[in-house]
Amino acid sequence: MKTRTRTILAGLAVAALLVVTSAAVASAASPVIAGGPAGTGVCATEAAAVRAGVSIDTLRAFGDCEIARRFTTLGALASKISGSKALTSSDAAALSGEVSSTKSGLTGLKAQIDAETSLPALKSEIRQIATAYRVYLLVVPQVNLVNGADTVQLAQTAFNQVSTNLTARIAAAKAAGKDTTAAQADLDAMNAAVTQAVGLAGPLPAALLPLTPAQYNAGTAGPVLKNARAALVQARGLLQSARQDAVACRDALK
């Protein structure tokens, strides 16, 4: 039982670090087209060409680059979703659907951009790359934060097993006449921290998954994302404290 507890605790050290709370940060650069992509990173060259001379060709090249950049990101997100050991099947399906529909929408938008001959219309379509899909400000955070929330839920299962093992060891030590007061206090603190962490993370997928680009544009999605990040930061700290409590309980029983 001692070896089993030690093995689970070692795994929990990794699980606590898997709680993803980061999300893409919006670029501070001015957008190439008001309301559209900023043209930083891999599309900086195309953005510079537009700023040097706006034309159908320069705008189309810029739009195609920004869409391709988002395709790369969406592909990485799809791999993250399929490779996650924490995501529930329903959350994984919802996120996969979001990634797929976003890619499909951008594919259709690219076809419009590539066929467009009106400069004003092309500018409007370029804006839609950012405003209609919000890959970096919404979809990326949704995947990361929901995965983080489900990671907390997964960690609870391991902590429950640790709790069962430590409870049995405390009972055995008490039966042998040992003072288990400190060990029991550590175990109670561990269980309380895990319960609090799960309470913070549990409601997050239901709040995050329905968010849409329109809600982000309206200013209502941003606070939900911000609050979810804060909750996961707190949950991660609680899981780390819970692991420390578990180690302390184990050591008190030696």
Return the closest-CA partner of residue 37 out of 116, 109, 135: 135
* Radius of gyration over every alpha carbon of the chain, rounded to an integer in angstroms: 24
Contact 167, 187 (CB under 8 A): yes
Q: What are phi and psi of 46, to 5 degrees?
A: -65, -35
pLDDT for position 24: 44
Question: What would the two tokens of residue 209 be?
Answer: 């998954």
pLDDT for position 109: 98
- Residue with tokens 């995947």, as numbered in its chain: 143
**pTM of full prediction above 0.75:** yes
Q: In this structure, which amino acid lies at residue 67?
A: I
DSSP class per residue in the chain: -HHHHHHHHHHHHHHHHT-----PPPP-SPPSSTTS----GGGHHHHHHHHH---HHHHHHHHHHHHHHHHHHHHHHHHHHHH-SSS-HHHHHHHHHHHHHHHHHHHHHHHHHHH---HHHHHHHHHHHHHTT-IIIIIHHHHHHHHHHHHHHHHHHHHHHHHHHHHHHHHHHHHTT---HHHHHHHHHHHHHHHHHHHHHTTHHHHHTT--HHHHHHTSHHHHHHHHHHHHHHHHHHHHHHHHHHHHHHHHT-
Point out the residues of the chain with pLDDT beneath 50.
Answer: 14, 17, 21-28
Q: How many whole angstroms separate alpha carbon 27 and alpha carbon 119?
A: 25
pLDDT for position 254: 87
pLDDT for position 239: 96
Name the residue ranges covered by the structural domains of the chain.
Answer: 2-252
Q: How many whole angstroms separate alpha carbon 198 and alpha carbon 151?
A: 10
Q: How many whole angstroms separate alpha carbon 232 and alpha carbon 27?
A: 23
- Residue with tokens 């998954």, as numbered in its chain: 209
